[in-house]
Amino acid sequence: MIIDTHAHLTSKEFSRDLDQCIRAAKDSGVARIVTVSEDLEDAKAALRLSRDSDLVRAGVGLFPTILDRGQAEEMYRFIREKMDELACIGEVGLDFWKVKDHEGREVQKEILSGFVELSKETGLPLNCHSRSAGRHIIELLLSLGAKKVQLHAFDARPGTALMGEEAGFFFSIPPSIVRSRQKQRLVRALRLESLLLESDAPVLGPEPGVRNEPKNTRIALEAIAEIKALPVEQVEETIFENSRRLYGERI
């Protein structure tokens, strides 16, 4: 019943043993993996992988550090063409950690706004990146009337996350929670009904510098259960239902 709602299976880190990683995830109880993409070629690879594996679903998006309106328009068209095969629009969002100039940030907001409108048009959830831009992305999403939103590996303060929770947004938790006080505080602040699981493989694993895999999503599940002082089975069931509320039959 574990759904890994955000991974990067098309990453070069999995080029040699992807099938083995997918089998290991299944053996650990992972029922679905949403592999998100960062550009058009990555999106095509994610879609091919989803067609080849019963466990994998594809997310299609443009990473927010790509400040190219032409590439964004191409991605909008691709999503419209392939929408029936997709789990979500992602990875999209804002990144103020790498993009520090005002003009670049405004382009990010413009491109994300296009993805929000596409989400409303197609019914596809948004799978969002928001590094060092938590308050900014929530305020933008609220102003645009976004409804189906997942904020992955959210790095802002819990008080900021509560703004998103009030709007019905979901927050996915990676295995790095075991070494991140910020993620632990986030889980304490949010209701269980607002949480999802993710690996963000090959990064954000339980050990820094070690390749992360979708099978480690279970580690995030167990950490949430411990923080919430609830049985793992109850947390697993609730988060599974959360995933279905956001993704529906697409996963």
pLDDT tens-place string over residues 100-137: 999 999 999 999 999 999 999 999 999 999 999 999 99
Q: How confident is the model at residue 19 (pLDDT cuts 50, 70, 90)?
A: very high
Supply φ then ψ for residue 114, to 5 degrees: -65, -40
- The reported pLDDT for the residue numbered 246 is 98
| Rounded average pLDDT over 196-208 | 98
Q: Taking residues 62-66, what's their average pLDDT?
A: 98
What is the torsional sign of CA 224, 247, 142, 199? positive
Question: What tens digit of pLDDT does each residue of 210-240 get?
Answer: 999 999 999 999 999 999 999 999 999 999 9
**Tokens 């029936």 -> residue:** 84
Beta strands in the chain (DSSP E): 2-7, 30-35, 56-60, 86-95, 126-131, 149-152, 170-173, 195-197
* Rounded average pLDDT over 184-200: 98
Q: What sign results for the dihedral spanned by CA atoms 221, 224, 230, 235?
A: negative
Of 110, 200, 198, 128, nearest to 164 (Cα)?
Answer: 128
Give the integer Cα–Cα distance in Å for 226 and 184: 10
The pLDDT of residue 35 is 98
pLDDT of residue 97: 98
Predicted local confidence at residue 111, as pLDDT: 98
**Domain range 2-250, CATH architecture:** Alpha-Beta Barrel (3.20)
135-186 pLDDT, tens digit per residue, is 999 999 999 999 999 999 999 999 999 999 999 999 999 999 999 999 999 9
Region 50-57: what's the mean pLDDT? 98
* CA–CA gap between residue 80 and residue 43 (Å, rounded): 13
